[in-house]
Amino acid sequence: MNRAIRTSITAILTLLASLGLAFVASPASADSSCGEGKFVEKIELVQWGDGHFQVVLTPTAEARKHAALSLNPRDAVVEQWHAIQGCVSGLYGDLADTIWDQLECHQLNSWLILPREDGIWATGSTYELESWRPTLPRWVNGQDLIFTECLNRMGTDPEGPFANPFRPGETDLHQAWDNIA
């Protein structure tokens, strides 16, 4: 796909995705249980080395529909967040902020169709929320969020900003520079 077409598609997708952001979110009640709910099919916790972890949330079809059609799409994010808090203890401060940011990005854009290896959804069939990701800036270009899969693929595009694309323990060169004499 050439760059002009990609840019046009991105602009349209960004505009559509941002429409839901213009509404003021009202407080939402949330189920504090771990797992199934109106917007959560299941939640799994994957442990990585060095205390890092990944929360894998499988959204329901209702969650994607809610992101596309609701006047208050953050209701689903709030309910999913409370379900995650019921499953994962210790989510405070910057750690809570980064997990929330990733969840919000995935859920608000979950209705966008962009065929991938694991299905048709731009944000994937599951939301992988990783403890080692930085807290997102308060304003991020929608195009960057969509094409980096909520910034999970930052560092793999030579034209984009650099960030370490490796997951903790993914390579044996982790911290190798620190050990060079």
pLDDT tens column, 95-147? 999 899 899 989 988 998 888 777 888 888 999 999 988 777 666 666 666 66
- Report whether pLDDT(82) > 80: yes
Tell me how far CA of residue 158 lies from CA of 64, 108, 161, in angstroms: 31, 27, 8
**What are residue 40's phi and psi, to 5 degrees?**
-130, 120
Nearest-angstrom CA–CA distance, 123 and 115: 10
Nearest-angstrom CA–CA distance, 23 and 11: 20
For residues 23 and 178, the model is more confident at: 178
Rounded to the nearest 10 degrees, what angle do helices 74-87 and 93-108 cross at?
140
For residues 121 and 14, the model is more confident at: 121
Per-residue burial over 21-47, b = 16 or more CB atoms within 10 Å of its CB, e = otherwise: eeeeeeeeebbeebeebebbebbeeee
**pTM strictly above 0.75:** no
What average pLDDT does this structure show over 149-173? 52
Domain boundaries in the chain? 34-159
Q: Are 17 and 146 in contact (CB under 8 A)?
A: yes
Q: Are 146 and 109 in contact (CB under 8 A)?
A: yes
